[in-house]
Amino acid sequence: MKKLTTESCFHLHKILDSVMKYLFYPIAILLLILTCSEFFPIFMYACKHIAVYQWVLYGMATYFIIRRFSFFSRNEQWLQTTSHEATHAIVGMMFFHKIHSLQANEDHGVVFHSGKKVGDIFISLAPYCLPILTYAFLLLRIMGANKMLYVFDLFIGFTLAFHLVCFCSQTRLYQPDIQTHGYIKSFLFLFVAWFFNATIILLSIRKGIVGAITYIFPKYWNDIIGWWNFIF
């Protein structure tokens, strides 16, 4: 019975892998259209109401100023590598992988983990699109008093600028994480994630992260229903 169960699970995983192999591209393209359609109006609102985001911008400016000083710049590469590998590990744990070790040097890092293949693309590509420190401060912001929100916004801007520098310096075609999944698949995934995360961050400054999530997902669903009714 145990052997039968193991074989059944194996075949089920093969079926799921095959389904995802063929459904990934249509789903990803749909998500890209969805995320783009909602991102640009929210971005335009942010441009017209820049005062709402002023402390986030101050935080970003602070990071770009501080990174010019040697005490920070000589450690920036190590911080980027550590953040990169930590993101692999955290997202790996979110998909119930066992983390065996994490190593981070100035110019190289690696995370050893084991688990099911489900979520592999999320684990591999998360460091190139997930500003994990920014999300940490967005969550902490929930507990802040209204008169202290600007402090959280400063750190949100600071960490966001850090992640933007990481993304720009690390997102390269030679990266094994990107090569593993193929260039087209990887960058399609990354574009969806970039637009989605940018939307959530912009909304979170206005509505809080809970409000942003409860706002955007019904919007996505309504868009899908609207497109369906228009086509059919």
Model confidence pLDDT, tens digit, residues 28-73: 999 999 999 999 999 999 999 999 999 999 999 999 999 998 888 8
Question: Is 63:80 a contact under the CB 8 Å cutoff?
Answer: no
In our burial notation (b when 16+ CB lie closer than 10 A, e otherwise), range 62-93 reads ebeeeeeeeeeeeebeebbbbbbbbbbbbbbe
From residue 147, give the alpha-carbon distance in Å to each of 31, 134, 144, 151. Answer: 36, 20, 8, 9
Measure the CA–CA gap between 188 and 194, rounded to whole angstroms. Answer: 10
Percent of the chain residues past pLDDT 90, beyond the cut:
61
How wide is the angle at C-alpha 117 spanned by C-alphas 113 and 123, nearest 5°? Answer: 55
Judge whether residue 11 has pLDDT over 70.
no
Place 7 in a pLDDT band, splitting at 50, 70 and 90: low
Q: Average the pLDDT over 10-27 and give the result.
A: 70
Q: Say which amino acid occupies 18.
A: S
Q: Are 116 and 144 in contact (CB under 8 A)?
A: no
Q: How far apart are CA 44 and CA 154, in angstroms?
A: 21
Question: Token digits for 35?
Answer: 């995320």
**Segment 198-231, tens digit of pLDDT:** 999 999 999 999 999 999 999 999 999 998 888 8
Most confident of 22-26, 49-53, 74-78: 49-53
Whether 125 and 181 have beta carbons less than 8 Å apart is answered as: yes
- Residue-wise pLDDT tens digits, 122-133: 999 999 999 999
The single-letter code of the amino acid at 59 is G
Residue 100 pLDDT exceeds 80: yes
| Cβ burial 114-148 (10 Å sphere, 16+ → b, else e) | eeeeebebbbbbbbbbbbebbbebbeebeeeeeee
Model pLDDT for residues 186-204, shown as the tens digit of each residue: 999 999 999 999 999 999 9
DSSP code at position 117 = S
pTM, two decimals, is 0.87
Distance in angstroms (rounded) separating the CA atoms of residues 141 and 55: 13
